[in-house]
Amino acid sequence: MPSDQADHSRGLAARLEAELAAANFVDPHSHIEPASASATCLADILGYHYFTELAHSAGLPRERIEGEGLDDEMRMEALVAGLGPLSNTVQYGWLMEIAHDLYGFREPDLTPANWRSLDAAVRSRGAEPNRAEQLLAASHIEAVFLTNDFDDPLEGFNTARYVPCLRVDELVFHTGKEGVLERLARSSGVEPASHAALHEAIAAVAARFRRSGARAAAISLPPGFRPDPVEPADAARAFEAVRARGSEADPAARAALAADIFRGVARCCEAEGMPFDLMIGVRRGVYPGGVHQGQDLLDGRLSLADYAGLFNDFPTVTFPVSVLSEPLNHELVSFAWIFPNVLPFGHWWYANMPSSIERDLEQRIEAVPRTKLLGYYSDMYKLEFGYPKFAMYRRVLAGVLARRFVIERGWTEEAAVDLGLDLLVRNTRRVFYPEEELLR
């Protein structure tokens, strides 16, 4: 049992955490589907790629996780049996926190002997008509940003609660994929018959998203991407090449078109007054033998200096930036310290672990203006995960505030909590809801 000081220091951090935990906030990035926002059975929770890929990495064959002919029962049985080697991971911690706090599960671990009772609880609670609202309330989430394809109709849900976000990976990197230009024509009402018309169609998409309540555009970017301007004639030629040959077009043409469309989206964000979230550094399909969504990795051989031209050319566009490679956090801090329109954005994927969050947050919070620190987003696929993920973030944040501000710099607890609320609550509002009176 901890002694007085541990009690004190833990007590201080725990008090700050409790203050932070009382606040409601907006989750500015997720993959929630409003029509199926919460889990209806345990498979919806265990199917999260963090569990499938870790169980696979620890030795569970892919065929037992997502092979043909498997039903939910078989998949759950396999996954639960594969959890043992994950007991040390923070992801397993999320799972048990969901089980205990959101479903009243009482066992210390999820095992082949007891998972059915948790599954029953998820099925039972998941059938309650207001389950999504319960989960949002339990997580203190007021609104959650989505990830919407460019042709998503954005209908059938409350866009104040489920905030549309225009995800442009497909438009930018897979323009030539079968059906993409047709979907663009259909959803925008503009036939992309020329390079100029292509950009008109994209602008129409952005305008439609904006009218439907979208508050950001977003994209994930591979390490080799260069967001440099492309001469219009070159871009037009590249577009023709991609129209003619699709995904088989010359890689140089595809790269030129990607940069050109990317900059077109940035111009739309400028016109619409919409932030453009950049998630930089993912290499897709590195492990084709991996499970669904467990095939992508990172490559740190890039510099945000590659993006300086973009940041310079669009001074009125706000760029919330996430980096996947943890050592790039120091560059992100430095760029956000200098560029008014660059904001550190959450802790992404492979860098979304407590020890990485702690180090990255410590660098950010002592050098970047407090109004620019976009603390955290859940990146979740089911609403259950907002609860343990934001709790993890608040624990780290409270620890940093306790140690670095209250203890080392002599701040009052009130001042420290106030700083924490900038990261957790206010800056999301400042950046994505600029029309609101700022909550200074």
For residues 195-222, b (16+ Cβ closer than 10 Å) or e, as one string? beebbbbbbbbbebbbebebbbbbbbbb
**Closest separation between CB of residue 287 and its own copies, Å?**
5
Order of all β-strands in the sheet with 342-344: 166-167, 217-221, 276-280, 319-323, 342-344
User: Following CA atoms 359, 362, 364, 367 in sequence, which dihedral angle do they give, to the nearest 10 degrees?
Assistant: -140
Tokens of residue 310, six digits:
């973009």
Nearer to its own copies, 247 or 355 (CB): 355
**Closest separation between CB of residue 62 and its own copies, Å?**
9
**Closest separation between CB of residue 48 and its own copies, Å?**
14
Residue-wise DSSP of 392-425: HHHHHHHHHIIIIIIITT---HHHHHHHHHIIII
Amino acid in position 148 = N
**Closest separation between CB of residue 333 and its own copies, Å?**
7
Nearer to its own copies, 189 or 340 (CB): 340
Nearer to its own copies, 122 or 368 (CB): 368
How far is 76 from 60, CA to CA, in rounded Å? 12
**Closest separation between CB of residue 265 and its own copies, Å?**
22
Do 260 and 235 contact (CB within 8 A), yes or no? yes
For residues 117-130, b (16+ Cβ closer than 10 Å) or e, as one string? bbbebbeebbeeee
Nearer to its own copies, 34 or 93 (CB): 93
Nearer to its own copies, 125 or 330 (CB): 330
Nearer to its own copies, 175 or 341 (CB): 341
**Closest separation between CB of residue 61 and its own copies, Å?**
9
Provide the phi-psi class of 293: left if phi over 0, else alpha when psi is between -120 and 50, else beta. Answer: left
**Closest separation between CB of residue 115 and its own copies, Å?**
19
Per-residue CA distances from 144 to 101, 262, 284, 383 (Å): 21, 25, 26, 9
Nearer to its own copies, 14 or 74 (CB): 14
